[in-house]
Amino acid sequence: MRVKDLAADRSAAGLPDLALIVLAEDAAAVAANEQLNRVVARQYLVRVLRAVQRLDAEHRADPALSAVRELLDAMDVDAALAWALRPEVTGWVWRSEAGSADPVAQLRVLADCLAYDPAAAPASVRLGSPGGSGGPAGRPAPVVTGDGLARGSLLLEWASEGDEPAVRLDAARAGAFAARLQAAADLLAEEWPEGLAMAGTDIRAFAALGGHRGLKPLNFSVHGLRGLVLTSERPAYMLAQSLVHEATHQRFSGVLDCVAPVRNPKATHHSPFVDAERPLGHILHGILSFINDAYAAGRHQAVEPDPVERDRLGRYRQQKVEQLLAAEKNLLEVAEPTPAGERLLAGCRDAIGRLSGG
């Protein structure tokens, strides 16, 4: 990859209209999300190059730095952008930018990151329609098993730093986990293909959570591990909601990497999603993810043959719409939106209006 090629890439055109990336309702939304993805990838690629440049000053001969240079030299721009948004790469970027980061430790971790090979995963999930174009939505998302560096042991270690540790899987268990996720993706392909296309752009890998809560959702994303989604197993239509929910968290994290949606991000207000005071960015995360979650539930409700389950989905959607209306009201009481934030909020307002029948 040559820097002048990056300068001419369409990612240099900048962010799309953020109102379009709130909800995948048509091809324009899918295209806008792909453009956002390229812009975010460009940000991370530049951050990688800067981190390498900093380390080059005293450690140029280190094998890990040589490997990164050789890797990027052999790539075209599309491949370099895709590589820069892999979760192990973004995880390394965040750690290398920490003020207390030790250069020797950074290089050791970089070597471990380079050892990760998504193709070594024993199972993966196809987040695209069979026989699709093979574009971003056709990229298989591997299941990270944590069985050695090549299969993501470092990723699982990072992802398990919170309250819910990820589960290390053998090949058979990874295959079963991938099959559950594939059923959810296939359901989305039937019921909401644009939603699956957006998820296929935003999600790059999966890891399993073992703290089952029955039918209650247990899934999350980590801002610094872009594209990695952690989830427990549930029925396919519920996992379909989880897919678009977490994909939206990934998407908004990308927005936050590029632009500030509000001028007062440290301001807080009550979040009806968790019934607690939260910073505005957390509330926006909830608004965006539950817009897509509720929309997916509605798509399935329209074709669900069981009247009991249809009623449950209806109650769920109504609850989420009420929370969305309250969250939007609370956010607007204190938020000072930037121009980019105004467009994002305009997209949220339109989507919530459609969900509520307004």
pTM of the full structure: 0.95
CA 132 to chain centre: 21
Tens-place pLDDT, residues 110-137: 999 999 999 999 999 999 865 444 345 5
Tens-place pLDDT, residues 202-230: 999 999 998 666 678 889 999 999 999 99
Question: Which is higher by pLDDT, 217 or 184?
Answer: 184
The CA-based diameter of the chain, rounded to the nearest angstrom, is 67
Q: Which residues contact 278 (CB under 8 A, 6 or more apart)?
A: 268, 269, 270, 271, 286
Question: Which is higher by pLDDT, 163 or 201?
Answer: 201
Could you tell me the strand order of the sheet in which 219-221 lies?
166-167, 205-209, 228-231, 219-221
The mean per-residue pLDDT over the stretch 296-318 comes to: 96
CA-wise closest residue to 251 among 34, 6, 28, 47: 34
CA-wise closest residue to 200 among 155, 148, 140, 122: 140
- Sketch the domain layout of the chain as residue ranges: 259-358
Task: Tell me the C-alpha distance between 356 and 358, whole Å.
Answer: 5
Q: What angle do CA 243, 193, 313 make, to 5 degrees?
A: 55
CA-wise closest residue to 21 among 13, 33, 38: 33
In the structure encoding, which two tokens stand for residue 55, read together?
Answer: 């380390």
pLDDT at 207: 97
Judge contact between 53 and 8, C-beta under 8 A: no
